[in-house]
A and B are shown apart, each in its own frame.
Chain A
Amino acid sequence: MEQPNSQSNQTESQESNAAGTTPSPVAAALQRENPEWVREVIEALGETTLIVPREYIANICALLKTAPGLQFNFLADICGFDRGPEEEPRFEVNYHLFSTMKHHRVRLKVLLNEDDAHVPSVTGIWRTANWHERETYDLFGVVFDDHPDLRRILLPDDWQGHALRKDFPLRGYEPYSLE
């Protein structure tokens, strides 16, 4: 799996790698499928991060799960990240994938603007995304389109606001009272 891809990677001109590092086979496979699918590849600390556009996230994940060389059958985590109210794009959604057959990992990162924080849901590909996307919605306000049951999961059902945003105060807005 490694050798053929490393030879084909050297012909890819879109990746920028430091001299001597082996480019990621996952990124290569995705770029072979459709060059628009990978905007950026970040290799740091032995981990591969691919920044992908949000429109193709469902197609990308379907390919990553089913392709015989990749077989990312385990969605380890979906988490959100708020870069801050002044950043543009504001939100990131990170998908951590692991392959129990091939034992390789990859992280997909989707960048979202604050006023249009919508991402297609990958619940159809991995069932565990159901609760992870509910958590990301609950704590950041990122809406997952076509999610079967998008509602709060950690905070109380009638909570106002999204708690892990950088502009949400640590102590909340008011102390607890029984009313």
Chain B
Amino acid sequence: MGLENIIGEALPEILTTQLDALINWARKSSLWPATFGLACCAIEMMNATSGRNDLARFGSEVFRASPRQADVMIVSGRVSRKMAPVLRRIYDQMPEPKWVISMGACATSGGVFDNYAIVQGVDKIVPVDVYIPGCPPRPEMLIHAVMMLQDKVMKESIRDRRDAPDEEAREAITPGTLPVTDGSSLGETRVAESKPYTIASRHEKRRSF
């Protein structure tokens, strides 16, 4: 992305690691989550940010309402099939670098809801970095997950997330490409041509794990 890639390509190898350390330290110390509280886990996420367990100590100072300003998406709660394209769209609207924490049993694997309506794990929609078990997980567990994510961020390298967005990634999501129906199957169901969501983002193509 931007300046750090340009500098990183100009520097010799020995200095790139120092740049890596600096960039990663800056990113991990200011992981701003996007508010994606869906269900009961959202209440524990609120607890993690409130006074008793203070997530802001770890850099998550604000929960950005707009995904364009967020670094990490904490999927807290069960994801229904109706919500899944919306979740994918919000994830796609987040700029790189971005991470995903799957909070709770329902986001990780569908939880207790093994049925037609709930997606059995949010990793069928977005790539997940940290999974948190629990129903709901304690706020301390969410804080531990953020700390694990910070350790993961520190191991990254600026060589992984390159500049120059792919053409296909840029065309993958265009407004108005979700299926257009009015929900009534009394008449014919019109489904507009929608672009596939399976084009890998740069997040998924990164090389360090």
- Give A contacts to B, CB under 8 Å: 143, 150-158, 160, 163, 168-173, 175-179
Contact = CB atoms under 8 A, between A and B. Distances in A.
Nearest to B179: A158
B182 interface: yes
26 contacts: A143-B186, A151-B182, A151-B183, A152-B183, A153-B183, A155-B81, A155-B82, A156-B82, A157-B183, A158-B181, A158-B191, A163-B117, A169-B116, A170-B114, A170-B116, A171-B114, A171-B116, A173-B116, A175-B120, A176-B124, A177-B124, A178-B88, A178-B198, A179-B196, A179-B197, A179-B198
Contacts of B124: 175-178
Interface string B177-209: 001011111100101000011100000000000
B84 interface: yes
Contact of A172 (B116, B125, B189, B197): B116
Nearest to B125: A178
A82 B184 CA distance: 20
Interface of B: 81-82, 84-85, 88, 114-117, 119-120, 124-125, 179, 181-186, 189, 191, 196-198
A150 B186 CA distance: 9
A171 B113 CA distance: 9
Given A158-B191, A179-B196, A150 B184 contact: yes
A175 B121 CA distance: 11
